[in-house]
Each structure stands twice: as C-alpha cells, then as structure tokens.
Amino acid sequence: MKQIDIRTRSVKSLESLLKSSVSEPGAFTDKTEYLAALRSQRKLAAYSDDELGIQPCALNTLKAHADHALDQGYQGLDQLRIAAIEAIENAVESHKQSNKSTKRGALNLLKQKEAELDLLRQQNIHLVYICQELKRLAQLYASSGDDTLKAICDKDMKRINTLLSISSPIDVSNDRG
C-alpha cells in the first residue's frame, strides 16, 4: 500500500475518532493518552492507535493530508479536535456529583449550570451561522442553473451537513432531495 493511501486512511480514521468523541464523550473520559493528544495540534498529529489505523506523523504532514482527504480539510479536523475536548470535559464535569446541601456544592452546581448554558449559547451561535450560510448559498444557487454550479452546490451542502453534524445532536434532514 502506498504511503499516501496509508496517511489518507489514517486521517479519515482520526476524523472518525474525533466525531465519535463529540457524539459519545463519556466513552473517552478514561483514555488519558488520547485526552493528552487532544490538547495540542502537534500532539494530535503524533497520536497513534494501531487498532483504529491511526498513525503518527508530523503536524505539517497531517495538515497536508487532511486538506487533501477531508471535505473540511485540516481546519475542519481542528474544529473537531476542539469540539471533542469540550464534549469530553463536559462529560467529566457531569459525572462529578455535587452536594447541594453545602455552600461549596451549591456553587459547584451553579457553575455546572452556567457552563451548560454557555454551551447552549455557543451551539445557538453556531446554528445561526449555519443558517446564514445556507441563506447565502440558496441565493447564489437560485441565481443560476449551471452544471458546474450544481457541483459546487453539492460540495457546499456536504460542508454544511458536516457543520450541522458537529454543532448539535439535532437531526436535520434534507427533505427536498
């Protein structure tokens, strides 16, 4: 197998792992090596998991192969990394039990609820951005019926679907086909 094919498969496996981390963060709270790798771009590039087919590489190599193999490129992969960190941290915090009968417990509960509220606000901002992007694209596509524009439309819709799958667990399906 060619080295480029191995790297491409590794990048796609890493993307899949990050998406799993966002959707099921509780399953990753005890994976200390993986959690440490999420903390920086360089460490994530150096992360390896033979079982999943993820091989270590230099950061620039990861960026180049991600830009080539993924719709969102390295930027999308890095956004997934950040979302995975936040999701896992929130899962860890939600597992900690707070004692509401003490002042400290009540403060911890308040902080937890404020963090949840902040997360919901961030998701709302992200969804507003997605909606604005959809409006912009709809106007663009409505103004022309060109075949090349349709290909661009398909690529952009894949990008928007990726954004929607990252932002929230809400299922948004395309009813128009």
pLDDT of 13 reads 94
pLDDT of 99 reads 59
- DSSP state, 2? -
pLDDT of 98 reads 53
Of 162, 20, 42, the C-alpha closest to 91 is 20
pLDDT of 82 reads 94
In angstroms, the CA 95 to CA 28 distance is 13
| Low-confidence residues of the chain: pLDDT under 50 | 168-177
In angstroms, the CA 28 to CA 38 distance is 11
Distance (Å) of CA 150 to CA 132, 170, 172? 20, 27, 21
Q: Is 145 helix (H, G, I), strand (E, B) or coil?
A: coil
Tokens of 16: 């899949």
In angstroms, the CA 134 to CA 128 distance is 10
CA 32 from centre of chain = 19
pLDDT of 96 reads 64
Q: Where are the alpha helices (DSSP H) in the chain?
A: 3-23, 32-38, 41-46, 59-69, 73-95, 103-142, 147-167
pLDDT of 172 reads 42
pLDDT of 66 reads 92
Q: What are phi and psi of 91, to 5 degrees?
A: -65, -40
In angstroms, the CA 152 to CA 177 distance is 16
pLDDT of 41 reads 93
pLDDT of 130 reads 83
Of 140, 137, 132, the C-alpha closest to 158 is 137
pLDDT of 174 reads 44
Q: What is the pTM of this model?
A: 0.56
